[in-house]
Amino acid sequence: DLVMEKILQRKSSRMRNLQRSWQESPEGIKMLNFRKSLPAYKEKEKLLSAIARNQVVVISGETGCGKTTQLPQYVLESEIESGRGAFCNIICTQPRRISAMAVSERVSAERGENLGESVGYKVRLEGMKGKNTHLLFCTSGILLRRLLGDRNLNGITHVFVDEIHERGMNEDFLLIVLKDLLPRRRDLRLILMSATLNAELFSNYFGGAPTIHIPGFTYPVRAHFLEDVLEKTGYKLTSFNQIDDYGQEKMWKTQRQLIPRKRKNQITALVEDALKMSSFKSYSSRARDSLASWSPDCIGFNLIEAVLCHICRKEQPGAVLVFMTGWDDINCLRDQLKAHPLLGDPNRVLLLTCHGSMATSEQKLIFEKPPPNVRKIVLATNMAEASITINDIVFVVDCGKAKETTYDALNNTPCLLPSWISKASARQRRGRAGRVQPGECYHLYPKCVYDAFAEYQLPELLRTPLNSLCLQIKSLQLGTIGEFLSAALQPPEPRAVHNAVELLKMIRALDDKENLTNLGRFLSVLPVDPKLGKMLVMGAIFHCLDPILTVVSGLSVRDPFLLPQDKKDLAGTAKSRFSAKDYSDHMALVRAFEGWKDAEREGSAYEYCWRNFLSAQTLQAINSLRKQFHFILKDAGLLNADMAINNSLSCNQSLVRAIICSGLFPGITSVVHREKSMSFKTMDDGQVLLYANSVNARYQTIPYPWLVFGEKVKVNTVFIRDSTGVSDSILILFGGSLCKGEMAGHLKMLDGYLDFFMDPGLAECFWNLRIELDRLLQR
């Protein structure tokens, strides 16, 4: 140990010399001057001493004041300066991978280093850290995973949990775990950082931890609501077909009752137009297609276009940030703007996008200054709300919505719907315009709607299914699930907890007494929903992993099939070419992916994607996730070392179908044929519709009695996104019943079923299974 101490001391003094020589270099001085101009700098000493004297500190400050890039860096610098650099290990969590990457890069640059030296990052699938890394930015999910193997966070000296105001599920979860850990690790420092002023909530949670606010200076931003926007832009709302049912928009209903009677007529007309505009716009384009009653005119985009034109023609110079709901919408809008004579002219407008899945190279452009006389316009998701700061923004256009997963515990249905943002978010979005000079914000909704927004957004823990979370609680040995979750800042509904536990029992990740099974332990390591994790395990055991890797990766990244607004028919046709009478969106995905791999080998990947309406970026993400899953499965001994993962779709299609069923169950509907039309019913008799872009929506009849599906989305009716046709025998064998009883028990049961089992493909696979089980049971 003494030797170790010596080594670390020598390393520490080396770190100090490096740091000093940077700080004294001309560039270092310039950088330091910039850093000193940030509001956080004034509080530096106060912050460091609070961190030294308290185990937990809560820090709040406006976005851009220097929390993320400065505070962990202050700690690192002061440790290095005091000759203890090599002894400290600082972790700072981010809710999103892209911010972890962007921030670590920035901090490295501020320290005059390359990424991966003293500062690094780690996110799912990617990372950059070396043996000299002492400040690590990672996603909160990565830290949770690390806690799985290292319950005391040995060797870590400081943990910063950033963006806690967002109340993401992982952050809320981390706080429970860390709260439990603190008494065992008296020397560990926990620093919570929030962009809003509700620090009290967190301080109370940690027994009255001290709070520090960083006063920030931003320029005033003028807010324009829809009334104003319409006047300013001279934009006329075109008339719509009357729509009777606003069912899905509860908020609007209450809103209408809130409006004082005498202003009602005038405002109602406006609000209703706005309603059609904003709600229409924000539904995912695929859902929208299926809603015949909606007007095909894309008025939401047109209004944004009008606002952008107004800014470019009439307003002072300055970059524009447009908040959209999601990647789909951003893409569609970008295509539309590209075709515009002014906004699409690259000599006058630099059009960029900013969303969670963009490439790193694209990401850098956002921070750069555009050429003179060119206006930068960034189309962003709500990611640009708090975790990423673009300095030169002077104008903000806010559509008022964000895509948010909600969870209907009663019906056990997750829904992914764009919903109205909170007042806190709207303020936050507006604030993005006042970083360098006074700014303007165009809210594309009336003021009366803003007034009805909730103060804060509901914590994610209260609006998502808890499957993964409950599994993690078990594998971290944190006790009874219900008891543990009741210690959360705001505990979830018991009903939601119950549903998750039941699902985990059904897939045998937990046994009847809620103990973790071996399968469950394994699933908790896979960075994917437990149901999909099980699909991977089944794929491995049944020797058809290759297509299953693609399906699971696709389901957990996103659909690579694009659906451009103006070419929906062509895109649908392109997709259906991959279906080859499989009656399966999942298999179409596999074929598309395999075609892309071939095209890549021939050097024609770009052309292939273009022709088939596929997103190259998504395919790339699927490809790397596949590799990671493969690695984990191999590491766990689920694959014979020399076993190729070929077994492609063409080998045994019904087996692939069966494995898909095993992973997606209980997501199942029956196919009801009547005359020339089909309808679909879920197990509880609920009616569902297929997305227009599903290959199954293109057939008159489907020769399977059942469809299994991964995702349900509630719009006004429930839609299923991707589906695969399955037979009775597949459902009996690979549906829920398979999940009861232990592995050995299955085999007996399967033997019984084999009698009325007609499919030779499946019969063969059971033989393989038997061999495989033998092997596994012997280990």
Piece of 60-68, 260-268, 330-338, 468-476 that binds ligand ADP (CB under 6 A): 60-68
Which amino acid appears at position 380 of this protein?
A: A
Q: Does 94 bind ligand ADP (CB under 6 A)?
A: no
Q: Which residue has the tokens 């960034």?
A: 378
Contacts of 575 (CB under 8 A, 6+ apart): 561, 588, 592, 612, 613, 693, 695
**To the nearest whole angstrom, how small is the minimum distance from the Cβ of residue 139 to ligand ADP?**
16
CA-wise closest residue to 409 among 484, 503, 284:
503
Distance between CA atoms of residues 559 and 722, nearest Å: 9
Q: Which is nearer to Mg ion, 323 or 542 (CB)?
A: 323
Q: Which is nearer to ligand ADP, 67 or 403 (CB)?
A: 67
Contacts of 46 (CB under 8 A, 6+ apart): 212
Please give the size of the binding site for ligand ADP, defined by CB under 6 A.
Answer: 15
Question: Bridge-partner residues for 393, per DSSP?
Answer: 319
**To the nearest whole angstrom, how small is the minimum distance from the Cβ of residue 395 to ligand ADP?**
17
Q: What does each C-alpha distance from 749 to 509, 654, 658, 740 come to in angstroms?
A: 20, 20, 16, 10
Instruction: Tell me which residues in 51-110 interact with Mg ion (CB under 5 A).
Output: 67-68
Q: Does 68 bind ligand ADP (CB under 6 A)?
A: yes
The residue ranges of DSSP E strands in 76-148, in sequence order, are: 90-94, 119-123, 126-128, 135-139
276 binds, among ligand ADP, Mg ion, none (CB under 5 to 8 A by kind): none
106 binds, among Mg ion, ligand ADP, none (CB under 5 to 8 A by kind): ligand ADP
Among the listed residues 12, 19, 60, 69, the single contact to ligand ADP using CB under 6 A: 69
Q: Report the helix count and the strand count for the chain, using DSSP H and E.
A: 33, 23
Question: Bridge-partner residues for 680, per DSSP?
Answer: 671, 688
Is residue 201 classed as helix, strand or coil in its secondary structure?
helix
In eight-state DSSP terms, residue 240 is -
Lay out the site mask for ligand ADP across 744-773 (x = CB under 6 A, - = otherwise): ------------------------------
Question: What is the Rg, in whole angstroms, of the alpha carbon atoms belonging to the chain?
Answer: 27
Are the C-beta atoms of residues 382 and 356 closer than 8 Å to each other?
Answer: no
Total number of residues shown for the chain: 779
Q: Which is nearer to Mg ion, 60 or 696 (CB)?
A: 60
Q: Which is nearer to ligand ADP, 434 or 547 (CB)?
A: 434
Pairing mode of beta strands 668-674, 221-224: unpaired
**To the nearest whole angstrom, how small is the minimum distance from the Cβ of residue 65 to ligand ADP?**
4
CA-wise closest residue to 196 among 426, 516, 383:
426
Q: Does 391 bind ligand ADP (CB under 6 A)?
A: yes
Piece of 56-64, 345-353, 395-403, 591-599 that binds ligand ADP (CB under 6 A): 56-64
Which amino acid appears at position 5 of this protein?
A: E
Q: Does 203 bind Mg ion (CB under 5 A)?
A: no
Are the C-beta atoms of residues 497 and 470 closer than 8 Å to each other?
Answer: yes
Among the listed residues 70, 108, 553, 618, the single contact to ligand ADP using CB under 6 A: 70
Lay out the site mask for ligand ADP across 18-47 (x = CB under 6 A, - = otherwise): --------------------x---------
Q: Does 161 bind ligand ADP (CB under 6 A)?
A: no
Piece of 63-71, 404-412, 414-422, 719-727 that binds ligand ADP (CB under 6 A): 63-71
Piece of 59-67, 282-290, 422-430, 510-518 that binds ligand ADP (CB under 6 A): 59-67
Distance between CA atoms of residues 490 and 687, nearest Å: 34
| Alpha helix stretches (DSSP H) within 184-283 | 199-205, 226-233, 250-258, 261-282
Q: What does each C-alpha distance from 590 to 622, 638, 649, 725, 762 come to in angstroms?
A: 11, 22, 8, 15, 20
102 binds, among ligand ADP, Mg ion, none (CB under 5 to 8 A by kind): ligand ADP
Are the C-beta atoms of residues 580 and 650 closer than 8 Å to each other?
Answer: no
Q: Which is nearer to Mg ion, 68 or 662 (CB)?
A: 68
Q: Does 360 bind ligand ADP (CB under 6 A)?
A: no
Q: Which is nearer to Mg ion, 214 or 733 (CB)?
A: 214
Q: Which is nearer to ligand ADP, 136 or 307 (CB)?
A: 136
Q: Which is nearer to ligand ADP, 104 or 118 (CB)?
A: 104
Contacts of 37 (CB under 8 A, 6+ apart): none
Contact positions vs ligand ADP (CB under 6 A) = 38, 61, 63-70, 102, 106, 367, 389, 391
Contact positions vs Mg ion (CB under 5 A) = 67-68
